[in-house]
């Protein structure tokens, strides 16, 4: 399988998959369970989700490892199984991808804060990210996405750990929210422009934005990233619209047809990789695949 950067340089528009959490819940994941442990305890179900996205037309398989760092797994008493869980997750994804899809290792935020905002050290963050990232590569991932990030310092550590210690393509993706006074920023006050500058300096190959908003706001964020980092490949992974609270549950209401139309606008804004986050399932990805193919 050609590396993602080579595929992009060859002029391909790439389609990633959608959300993992929603699919796991549909397969029976209960509140309080560790999603990543399913890669070991219920590998067949995780594989079925990967296959559903593959059959919908995705060009890459994203590992079920968003919360796979030692910091996150510690909430379930699994901090000593980081390597085992991440390697298993990447192996499952690779078994589905074969030689037709790229395997994307997902690395989410730790949920902790570094000094001086918290008590964690840079060394501790680096060790946590490095352990997870190297396990993903050893399991078969050829690309890593440091995603749903809000803090520059944390994301820089993860990107550098991947860039300096693996041969994987590195994507840095932040979550931006619309601001009352206009523009976009993360909950830590990071703008798309600042994110682009710092992540490229840290070594990221591709810049992205995911979660947080639906495709309408994300189109604007992609335009800002394109302006801030001309010539850099961009990735967009929106939710299925803005979240709505119904009967105590968060739901995402954008239909596959609505998202497929907006995916073309994301491409026009500058994204070379399109996918989905919360609320996006195989039907959304299939509709986006159809829209991309018809537009080419």
Which pLDDT belongs to residue 242?
A: 83
Give, as one character, the DSSP assignment of residue 240. Answer: S
pTM higher than the cut 0.85: yes
Residue 249 has pLDDT above 80, yes or no: no
Which pLDDT belongs to residue 204?
A: 98
Summarize the confidence of residues 250-271 as an average pLDDT.
Answer: 94
Summarize the confidence of residues 96-104 as an average pLDDT.
Answer: 96
Summarize the confidence of residues 271-279 as an average pLDDT.
Answer: 96
Can you point out the beta strands (E) in 175-222?
177-178, 184-185, 206-210
Confidence label for 128 from pLDDT (cuts 50, 70 and 90): very high
Confidence label for 251 from pLDDT (cuts 50, 70 and 90): confident
Residue 16 has pLDDT above 90, yes or no: yes
Q: What is the pLDDT of residues 151-189, one digit of tens each?
A: 999 999 999 999 999 999 999 999 999 999 899 999 999
Which pLDDT belongs to residue 245?
A: 83
Angle of CA points 199, 108, 220, to nearest 5°: 55
Please, where are the H alpha helices in the chain?
A: 4-9, 21-26, 38-41, 43-56, 70-73, 82-97, 122-139, 152-165, 192-202, 215-228, 256-269, 282-295
Task: Give the chain's domain count.
Answer: 1
Owning domain of residue 145 = 4-295
The helix or strand, by DSSP H or E, that contains position 186, with its residue range, turns out to be: none
CATH of the domain at 48: 3.20.20.330
Confidence label for 212 from pLDDT (cuts 50, 70 and 90): confident
Confidence label for 101 from pLDDT (cuts 50, 70 and 90): very high
Residue 35 backbone phi and psi in degrees, to 5: -60, -40
């Amino acid at each position: 399988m050609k590396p993602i950067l080579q595929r992009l340089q060859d002029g391909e528009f790439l389609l990633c998959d959608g959300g993992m959490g929603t699919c796991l819940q549909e397969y029976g994941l209960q509140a309080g369970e560790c999603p990543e442990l399913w890669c070991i305890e219920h590998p067949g179900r995780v594989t079925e989700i990967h296959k559903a996205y593959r059959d919908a037309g995705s060009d890459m398989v994203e590992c079920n490892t968003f919360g796979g760092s030692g910091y996150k797994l510690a909430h379930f008493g699994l901090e000593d199984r980081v390597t085992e869980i991440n390697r298993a997750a990447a192996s499952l994804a690779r078994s589905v991808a074969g030689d037709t899809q790229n395997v994307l290792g997902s690395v989410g935020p730790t949920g902790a804060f570094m000094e001086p905002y918290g008590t964690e050290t840079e060394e501790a963050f680096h060790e946590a990210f490095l352990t997870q990232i190297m396990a993903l590569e050893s399991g078969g991932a050829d690309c890593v996405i440091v995603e749903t990030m809000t803090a520059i310092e944390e994301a820089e550590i993860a990107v550098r750990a991947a860039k300096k210690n693996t041969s994987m393509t590195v994507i840095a993706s932040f979550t931006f929210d619309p601001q009352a006074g206009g523009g976009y920023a993360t909950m830590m006050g990071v703008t798309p422009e600042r994110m682009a500058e710092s992540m490229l300096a840290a070594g990221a190959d591709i810049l992205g934005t995911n979660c947080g908003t639906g495709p309408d706001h994300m189109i604007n964020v992609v335009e800002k990233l394109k302006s801030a980092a001309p010539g850099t490949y961009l990735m967009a992974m929106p939710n299925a619209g803005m979240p709505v609270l119904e009967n105590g549950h968060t739901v995402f209401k954008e239909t596959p047809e609505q998202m497929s139309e907006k995916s073309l606008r994301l491409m026009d804004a500058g994204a070379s990789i399109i996918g989905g986050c919360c609320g996006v399932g195989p039907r959304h990805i299939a509709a986006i695949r159809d829209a991309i193919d018809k537009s080419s």
